Amino acid sequence: MKFRLLTILAISLMTISAFISGTEAADRYGKQKVVYHINYPGGNDDKAYKGAMRNVQNHINAVGAKNLDLKVLIHGNGINLLKSAKATGALQSAVANLKSQNVTFQVCANTLKGKKLGTDQLYEVFDEDIIPSGVAELAHLQSLGYTYIKP
Domain boundaries, the chain: 1-29, 31-149
Report CA dihedral (110, 32, 69, 86) to the nearest 10 degrees: 60
Question: Has residue 27 got a pLDDT over 90?
Answer: no
Question: Has residue 137 got a pLDDT over 80?
Answer: yes
**Rounded to 5 degrees, what are φ and ψ at 145?**
95, 10
Question: Has residue 19 got a pLDDT over 60?
Answer: no
Q: What is the pLDDT of residue 5?
A: 44
Higher pLDDT, 145 or 10: 145
Q: Is the pTM of this model over 0.85?
A: no
- Work out the mean pLDDT of the chain and round it to a whole number: 85
Q: What is the pLDDT of residue 43?
A: 60
Dist CA 52 CA 34 (whole Å): 14
pLDDT bracket for residue 42 (50, 70, 90): low
The fold of the 31-149 domain, in CATH, is Hypothetical Protein Ychn; Chain: A, (3.40.1260)
Q: What is the pLDDT of residue 23?
A: 61
Report CA dihedral (93, 99, 103, 108) to the nearest 10 degrees: 80
Higher pLDDT, 9 or 75: 75
Higher pLDDT, 15 or 43: 43
